[in-house]
Amino acid sequence: MGPMNGFFSMGAGGACGANPFDIMELIRRTPHGSCFTYQTTFRLTHSLAMMCIALGQHTRAGIEDNLWNTTKGVRMTSIQMIERDVRFAKELGRAIATPEQARQMLKIGVTYSSTAETLANLGLPPNRRPGNMGFMVHETDGRFHPAAQGGCGHIHAGDWEGKVDKVEVTGKLKVA
């Protein structure tokens, strides 16, 4: 078991819409501590990338999703698309992750020993045991432990202290 990394495809047949309302709902529903990337196809990639970067999310760029610039008939290369996303991020004051920061954000190499530990590290409540009623919470020491990711609970380049924090689970559950 390991961290939750995901990918959302938007604005194409069978996918959700590529508008601010759908994007905000997707972001709201992603577990804190997870890392999600968003993409769409064709000319929607430009507006979607700008919205996601402005909202502190991660984007995907390349000719496998889109061949076109915003001008009809004008093509873009993958490098031009990546440069565009970097320019968007810099204009909005977003840091660009280094390869090492990207590995930390994605928690590559991090594994958890149990489902309970995975849920705790995602900020999700534990699974209920048979017969338990009420809202389940993890036992804690009562002290505040700041998240390793950005203030919104999602991971951003440059927003953490360079280490991957891990919540240890004692196996004790309590009903609140």
Residue 1: per-residue pLDDT: 64
Confirm if 132 and 165 have CB atoms less than 8 A apart.
no
Residue 169: per-residue pLDDT: 55
Query: Does residue 92 surpass a pLDDT of 60?
Result: yes
Diameter of the chain measured on Cα atoms: 62
pLDDT tens per residue, range 103-160: 888 888 888 888 888 888 777 777 777 776 666 666 777 776 655 554 455 555 555 4
In this prediction, residues 16-39 reach a mean pLDDT of 79
In this prediction, residues 13-24 reach a mean pLDDT of 76
Q: How far apart are CA 82 and CA 151, in angstroms?
A: 26
What percent of the chain is modeled with pLDDT above 90?
A: 4
User: What is the β-pairing status of strands 173-175 and 136-138?
Assistant: antiparallel
Distances (CA, A) of 86 to 49, 56, 67, 105, 131: 10, 13, 18, 17, 51
In a 3-state reduction of DSSP, which class is residue 38? strand
Query: Does residue 90 surpass a pLDDT of 90?
Result: yes
For residue 166, with 0-12 CB atoms within 10 Å meaning exposed, 13-18 middle and 19 or more buried, which class applies? middle
Instruction: List, in order, residues 6 or more apart from 61 with CB less than 8 Å away.
Output: 45, 49, 78, 81, 82, 84, 85
Whole-model pTM: value is 0.65
Q: How far apart are CA 43 and CA 140, in angstroms?
A: 48
Q: What share of the chain is helix, strand, coil (3-state, %, to 5)?
A: 30, 15, 60
- pLDDT-based confidence at residue 176 (cuts at 50, 70, 90): very low
